């Protein structure tokens, strides 16, 4: 799949297109943020938020520009907001999340990662899950072991639903890579 083709399909809410774009640009955005923040956790959080916002606003992307540049711009703005929040965290007020609009970017059909995960026996799977970072372990646990919906996970973690979706997508990809290495 080409990037332009993936963007067109992503605008039609095609899950495979979102996966392709995430896989293609994750390392670039993460590396960009790692240089800026010099902190792996902050870089990862900002990267997740970047893809979350980009996927929510994919309809606003202008094909006359490079997708990677658009992502970096979103990422840079999220980092600036992150720094402002750090400085004024005492005075920070949460926005009313009920006014935010989310697009359903994830369909429920099993992805290749889902199939690999379900083929493993539970003991091995739990050992592999323990190799993930704690926030990925948590989102996998809430979704697959506690069987919570995206909305329930969003409320439990106090994060926007689009962040939960991207975090879960990334967690499944990393878990799949751990399993395939064996």
Check which CATH number belongs to the domain holding 16 and give it. 1.10.1740.10
- Residue 128 is assigned to a structural domain of this protein: yes
We report the CATH number of the domain holding residue 165 as 1.10.10.10
Q: Kindly report which listed range (15-24, 85-94, 116-125) carries the lowest average pLDDT score.
A: 85-94
The confidence band for 41, taking pLDDT boundaries of 50, 70 and 90, is confident
More confident: 96 or 148:
148
How many other CB atoms are found less than 10 A from the CB of residue 72?
A: 17
The confidence score (pLDDT) of residue 93 equals 47
CA nearest neighbour of 129 among 138, 121, 137: 137
The confidence score (pLDDT) of residue 147 equals 86
Cβ pair 178, 127 in contact under 8 A? no
- Residue 98 is assigned to a structural domain of this protein: no
- For residue 24, pLDDT beyond 90: yes
The confidence score (pLDDT) of residue 96 equals 46
Question: Whole-model pTM?
Answer: 0.62
The dihedral sign for the CA sequence 122, 107, 174, 101: negative
Q: How many domains does the chain have?
A: 2
CA nearest neighbour of 127 among 169, 179, 172: 179
- Residue 137 is assigned to a structural domain of this protein: yes
How many other CB atoms are found less than 10 A from the CB of residue 128?
A: 20
């Amino acid at each position: 799949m080409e990037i332009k083709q993936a963007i067109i399909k992503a605008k039609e809410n095609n899950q495979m297109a979102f996966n392709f774009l995430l896989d293609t640009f994750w390392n670039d955005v993460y590396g960009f943020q790692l240089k800026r923040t010099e902190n792996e956790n902050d870089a990862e959080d900002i990267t997740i938020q970047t893809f979350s916002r980009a996927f929510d606003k994919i309809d606003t992307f202008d094909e006359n520009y490079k997708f990677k540049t658009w992502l970096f711009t979103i990422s840079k703005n999220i980092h600036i907001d992150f720094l402002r929040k750090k400085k004024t965290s005492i005075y920070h007020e949460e926005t009313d999340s009920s006014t935010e609009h989310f697009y359903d970017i994830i369909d429920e059909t099993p992805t290749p990662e889902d199939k690999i995960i379900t083929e493993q026996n539970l003991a091995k799977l739990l050992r592999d899950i323990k190799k993930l970072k704690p926030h990925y372990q948590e989102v996998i646990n809430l979704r697959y072991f506690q069987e919570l919906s995206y909305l329930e996970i969003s409320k439990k973690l106090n994060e926007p639903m689009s962040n939960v979706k991207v975090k879960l997508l990334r967690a499944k990809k990393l878990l799949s890579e751990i399993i395939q290495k064996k």
